[in-house]
């Protein structure tokens, strides 16, 4: 997927080269392209915070996904800069998705296990912020839980010393009810009520210093799960990158428009 912000600057390069021939290391057009790349990164981040939750935007715009961007000069061409976001969900957030069945990961996921009766299953961890727990009215109870801790082990297998678990009853229990179209184009109608609270059996983790390091619940997807229990309603397209490009394009055009007359004046073509 690409969103292009492009103007063919090659015909202008000769004009600028002649105008600034007496000024060593001057590359007006290249500088504008580089600056536009930086403006695009800033605008992309801004649009992410306008479109996503603060936590989601922070992850989406983190340095590891915007690392080494803008790439300028791209392939040694000073008139070409490339801005990338390598977040694994960037495409889905940009274009959105149709409803989909998350149980498909039972046949594609790397952490699938086989139960004693031969059924596939995956345990999915869900993180909960203290803010979301407070909003649900269970923040104090969660903070008072006896801590769980990950134990140091040799090898890839993790061992955990489990502490207390929250009994949340029906707090936050939801009723999913919506219609849509699957990725295969088939109509889907979902009417499903969660069996438990999303906070049921929540645990509180502590770090080595005895400070709370997070709150988690764990849910299991299996072949035995209700057919609608893991249906996802889809992701609404955010058009984050597209909006950023559209907002930066007039700034790019304006900078070129301001630089070109100045080059003509330096050549004595216009007063």
Domain boundaries, the chain: 10-94+236-266, 98-232
Which residues partner with 190 through β-bridges?
Answer: 178
Closest CA to 44 of 254, 247, 250: 247
**Under-70 pLDDT residues of the chain:** 1-7, 22-26, 155-156, 181-185, 270-271
Average pLDDT score, the chain: 87
CA distance 199 to 197: 5
Strands 175-181 and 187-193: antiparallel
- Quote the pTM value: 0.67
CA distance 250 to 80: 17
**Residue 67 pLDDT:** 85
CA distance 228 to 48: 31
Element (H, E) at 253: helix 240-266
H-type alpha helices, 70-164: 90-95, 105-108, 130-136, 139-143
Contact indicator for 255, 32 with CB cutoff of 8 Å: yes
**Residue 6 pLDDT:** 66
pLDDT digits (tens, 9 = 90+) for 84-114: 999 988 999 999 988 888 888 898 888 899 9
Q: Taking the mean position of all CA atoms in its chain, how far away is CA 163?
A: 32
> By percentage, how much of the chain surpasses pLDDT 70?
92
């Amino acid at each position: 997927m690409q969103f292009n912000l492009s103007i063919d600057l090659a015909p202008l390069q000769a004009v600028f080269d002649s105008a600034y021939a007496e000024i060593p290391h001057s590359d007006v057009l290249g500088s504008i392209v580089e600056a536009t790349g930086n403006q695009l990164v800033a605008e992309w981040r801004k649009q992410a915070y306008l479109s996503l939750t603060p936590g989601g935007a922070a992850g989406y715009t983190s340095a590891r996904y915007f690392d080494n961007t803008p790439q300028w000069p791209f392939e040694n061409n000073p008139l070409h800069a490339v801005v990338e976001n390598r977040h694994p969900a960037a495409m889905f957030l940009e274009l959105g998705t149709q409803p989909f069945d998350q149980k498909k990961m039972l046949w594609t996921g790397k952490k699938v296990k086989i139960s004693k009766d031969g059924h596939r299953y995956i345990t999915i961890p869900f993180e909960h912020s203290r803010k979301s727990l407070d909003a649900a009215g269970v923040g104090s109870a969660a903070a008072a839980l006896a801590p769980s801790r990950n134990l140091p082990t040799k090898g890839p297998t993790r061992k955990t010393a489990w502490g207390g678990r929250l009994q949340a009853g029906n707090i936050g229990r939801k009723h999913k009810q919506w219609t849509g179209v699957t990725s295969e184009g088939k109509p889907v109608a979902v009417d499903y009520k969660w069996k438990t609270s999303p906070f049921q059996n929540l645990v509180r983790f502590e770090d080595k210093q005895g400070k709370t390091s997070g709150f988690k619940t764990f849910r299991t997807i299996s072949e035995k799960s209700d057919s609608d229990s893991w249906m996802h309603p889809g992701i609404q397209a955010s058009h984050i990158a597209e909006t950023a490009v559209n907002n930066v394009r007039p700034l790019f055009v304006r900078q070129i428009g301001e630089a070109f007359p100045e080059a003509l004046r330096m050549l004595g073509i216009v007063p």
